[in-house]
Amino acid sequence: MPRVDFLGTGNAFSPHGRMHALALIDGDILIDAPPTVITQLKRSGYSSGQIRHLLFTHWHGDHIFGFPFMMLERKFVTNREMEVGLEIYLRPGGKEILSGLCETGFPGSLESLDTMVNWNEEEDGDVGDTDWKFNRFPVNHNPETDPHGYELIHSSGFRMLHCGDSGPCPEIDRRAPKADVIVVEMGVPDIGDFPHHHRPSDVISLSERNPHAKILVTHNYSSAKGRQEGFQNPSLPETICQLEDFDSLEIFEDGSFEIINKI
Ligand SMILES: [Zn+2]
Ligand SMILES: [Zn+2]
């Protein structure tokens, strides 16, 4: 049964009770590599050595700084025999950024990156031999980070739009009508204009424009449910689910789905 585990749901500031936003599909497709990615995998019972596909959305530290840790752990601990190949889906220029990070983090230890990974710069195609196809699309976020989202289509017909980090944008609106689930960031509160992020009012508006779709909020600026510190959860309509760390999405054969809250 296809599933998506949300191993983190916080923005770059890792609000109280939230790790950085991180989604894992079917146990081996990872979207981004936040600084504590290996910690987040382990605490949910997964291992860096089982990741076969890594999809990058953009070049901000809360999405990429865990890459050297992941590669180092694979090389020396979790994938020593290199039995599990890793395909990396990224924009042109990304290989240099990620290689530079590895050289900065662990000089001399990860020079063999090219033997450990397959770099894939295609904008769409199959996610290896999995049941998923992907389509990468540009979003509205800091342009220096070459920001993108991913439309992920399961062989059952189920469609998930992962918007990466982005404010409202035409490319999201263009794909949203076909999506069953829209995973959207809510990186900032309603305290001003932030074109590169969704605010609660923007998420509500997205939901109103797409009543057919379930909106899942991640990369949340507010503290986890029940925490007294920091920003409190904004109140949003019931059609919108503010994910918590450890939540998962389970998808059934008929294309229906359920959000499982583990806490
Ligand atoms: Zn971010
Ligand atoms: Zn970002």
pLDDT at 262 over 90: no
**CATH architecture, range 3-260:** 4-Layer Sandwich (3.60)
129 alpha carbon to ligand 1 midpoint, in Å? 29
Identify residues whose C-beta is under 5 A from ligand 1, the ion.
12, 60, 62, 165
Say which ligand is closest to the CA of 166. 2
User: Phi and psi for 167 in degrees, rounded to 5?
Assistant: -80, 180
Residue 255 has what pLDDT?
Answer: 82
19 alpha carbon to ligand 2 midpoint, in Å? 15
20 alpha carbon to ligand 2 midpoint, in Å? 11
Q: Are 225 and 233 within 8 A, CB to CB?
A: yes
Please state whether the predicted TM-score (pTM) of the whole model is above 0.75: yes
| Tens-digit pLDDT profile for residues 194-251 | 999 999 999 999 999 999 999 999 999 999 999 999 999 999 999 899 999 999 999 9
B/e letters for 21-51, b = 16+ CB within 10 Å, e = fewer, are bbbbbbbbbbbbbbbbbbebbeebebbbbeb
Look up residue 14 and give its amino acid: S
Neighbours of 105 (CB within 10 A): 16
253 alpha carbon to ligand 1 midpoint, in Å? 32
Residue 17 has what pLDDT?
Answer: 97
Confidence band, pLDDT 50/70/90 cuts, at residue 253: confident
Q: Residue holding tokens 């009012």?
A: 201
Residue 263 has what pLDDT?
Answer: 60
Domain ranges of the chain: 3-260
93 alpha carbon to ligand 1 midpoint, in Å? 19
219 alpha carbon to ligand 1 midpoint, in Å? 7
Residue 261 has what pLDDT?
Answer: 86
DSSP 8-class letter at 20:
B
Pairing of strands 124-126, 132-138: antiparallel
| Tens-digit pLDDT profile for residues 129-147 | 999 999 999 999 999 999 9
